[in-house]
A and B are shown apart, each in its own frame.
Chain A
Amino acid sequence: KAGVTQTPRYLIKTRGQQVTLSCSPISGHRSVSWYQQTPGQGLQFLFEYFSETQRNKGNFPGRFSGRQFSNSRSEMNVSTLELGDSALYLCASSLEREQYFGPGTRLTVT
Chain B
Amino acid sequence: GESVGLHLPTLSVQEGDNSIINCAYSNSASDYFIWYKQESGKGPQFIIDIRSNMDKRQGQRVTVLLNKTVKHLSLQIAATQPGDSAVYFCAEMGGGSYIPTFGRGTSLIVHP
Q: Mark B22-65, 1 if CB is under 8 A from A, else 0.
A: 00000000001010100001111110010000000000000000
Contacts known (A90-B44, A98-B49, A103-B42); A56 close to B102, Cβ less than 8 A: no
In angstroms, Cα B34 to Cα A94, docked, is 13
Q: Are B32 and A97 in contact (CB under 8 A)?
A: yes
Q: Mark B45-89, 1 if CB is under 8 A from A, else 0.
A: 110010000000000000000000000000000000000000001
Q: How many B residues touch A, CB cutoff 8 Å?
A: 22
Q: Are B104 and A42 in contact (CB under 8 A)?
A: yes
In angstroms, Cα B40 to Cα A89, docked, is 14
In angstroms, Cα B98 to Cα A90, docked, is 16
Q: Which of A43, A56, A100 has the most CB of B within 10 A?
A: A43
Q: Are A101 and B99 in contact (CB under 8 A)?
A: no
Is the interface on chain A under 10, 10 to 19, 20 to 34, or 35 or more residues? 20 to 34
Q: Which residues of the other chain, A, contact B89 by a CB distance below 8 angstroms?
A: 43
Give the Cβ gap from A97 to chain B, nearest Cβ, in Å. 5
List residues of chain A with CB under 8 Å of any chain B CB. 4, 31, 33, 39-40, 42-43, 45, 48, 55-56, 90, 92, 94, 96-104
* Top 6 closest pairs, chain A to chain B, by CB: A101-B43, A43-B102, A101-B44, A42-B104, A103-B43, A104-B43
List residues of chain B with CB under 8 Å of any chain A CB. 3, 6, 32, 34, 36, 41-46, 49, 89, 93, 98-105
Sample (7) of A-B pairs whose CB atoms are under 8 Å apart:
A40-B6, A42-B102, A48-B99, A90-B44, A92-B43, A96-B98, A99-B34
